[in-house]
Amino acid sequence: MDVDFSKVKAYGDTLNDGSMQVSFTLPVPAGDEAREAARQLALKMGLEAPSVTEMVDLGAGFTFFVLYGKCTHTVDYAAIKIPKRQQEVLDFKQINELIKNELGRKVVVVAACTGSDAHTVGIDAIINMKGYMGEYGLERYPQMDAYNLGSQVPNEDLLAKAIELKADAVLVSQVVTQKNIHLENLTELVELAEAEGLRDRVLLICGGPRISHELAIELGYDAGFGPGTLPNHVGSYIAAELIRREKTEE
């Protein structure tokens, strides 16, 4: 197959046919006019010869469509450069051995949902004993002392508790929406830690459905974990980073 990576088109049956399927809902009652409206919208989207293969009346004046068409657009795949990082992921046993051998002490992790956030499902999946999708939570790690402070914890209290417990890492979970308030709750923790002179003493880690590495950097965190994160992903990062820091300090 001879693909021109500078002009990539959608693939249906043959290379560069541009075929694709799209689906959407229009706020109009089902009927011939609705079908035509969907077709015209697809044409405007750059789909040639669009055909409506499915039209479902959703009731209350809404109609759902599935269409096929040939997309005329191409993308220059060769020119795309995305900054990315690959982190080595270890399993439960490897992480514990690494901590035992390289650090020689238990790692203390303090976790909470901060501010007004009460969505604990993410942090529970990472911390709680039973874990998630067959991976034990950090509480189960013999080389870790994990504390789950629960939900709606004020940033000040979280910092004070982290220092009291001599935490190596602080995990914060937030459901970040487009409303800036959630972002600002995350940045406040970083800024408070900085003002209190604690920023270099603990790893600050954030997690949530909208969190990415890039957003974590913007927020000022040492790491960020998004959807699909398992406890051992977080554990691998904490262990590796603490060991790295200990070595560079020597």
Partner 1 sequence: MAELFKLLEEYNYRAVAIVGMTKNVGKTVTLNYLVKKYEEQGYCLGLVSAGYDGERFDRLTLEEKPRIYTPQGAFLATAKACYDAAEAQLELIEETNLSTPLGPVYLARVKESGLVEMAGPGSVSGLRKLLDKMISLGAERVLVDGAINRIASASPDLTGGVILATGAALGPTMDDVVKKTVVRKALFESEPVSDKHLYQAASRGLSEGDAAIINKNASDSDQYEVRPVNAEIPLLAAREALEQYSRETEAIAYGGALVDSAMNNILKLEPPYPAVIVKDATKIFISAESYNRYTSRGGKLQVLKQLSLVAVTLNPTDPGGRGYDPRMFLESMQEALKPCPVFDLIYEGSL
| Residue ranges in contact with partner 1 by CB under 8 A | 81-85, 156, 159-160, 163-164, 176-178, 180, 183-184, 187-188, 190-192, 194-200, 204, 210, 212-224, 241, 244, 248
Whether 130 is catalytic is: yes
Work out how close the CB of 216 gets to partner 1 at its nearest, in angstroms, rounded to a whole number. 5
Query: Among 130, 161, 166, 179, which one carries the catalytic annotation?
Result: 130
Task: Tell me whether residue 144 or residue 223 sits nearer to partner 1 (CB atom).
Answer: 223
Residues 74/8, Cβ–Cβ less than 8 Å: yes
CA-wise closest residue to 107 among 247, 250, 246, 249: 246
- How many beta carbons lie within 10 A of that of residue 106, not counting itself? 14
Task: Tell me whether residue 102 or residue 188 sits nearer to partner 1 (CB atom).
Answer: 188
CA-wise closest residue to 204 among 217, 221, 191: 221
Q: What share of the chain is helix, strand, coil (3-state, %, to 5)?
A: 35, 25, 40
Work out how close the CB of 2 gets to partner 1 at its nearest, in angstroms, rounded to a whole number. 27
Work out how close the CB of 46 gets to partner 1 at its nearest, in angstroms, rounded to a whole number. 18
Task: Tell me whether residue 97 or residue 218 sits nearer to partner 1 (CB atom).
Answer: 218
Report how far apart the first and last C-alpha atoms of the chain are (Å, whole number).
53
DSSP string, 33-70: HHHHHHHHHHHHTTEEEEEEEEEEEEETTEEEEEEEEE
Task: Tell me whether residue 66 or residue 165 sits nearer to partner 1 (CB atom).
Answer: 165
Work out how close the CB of 188 gets to partner 1 at its nearest, in angstroms, rounded to a whole number. 7
Letter string b/e over residues 180-189, b meaning 16 or more CB atoms within 10 A of that residue's CB: eebbebbbeb
Work out how close the CB of 93 gets to partner 1 at its nearest, in angstroms, rounded to a whole number. 25
**For the CA atoms of the chain, what is the radius of gyration?**
24
Task: Tell me whether residue 197 or residue 228 sits nearer to partner 1 (CB atom).
Answer: 197
- Residues assigned a catalytic role: 130
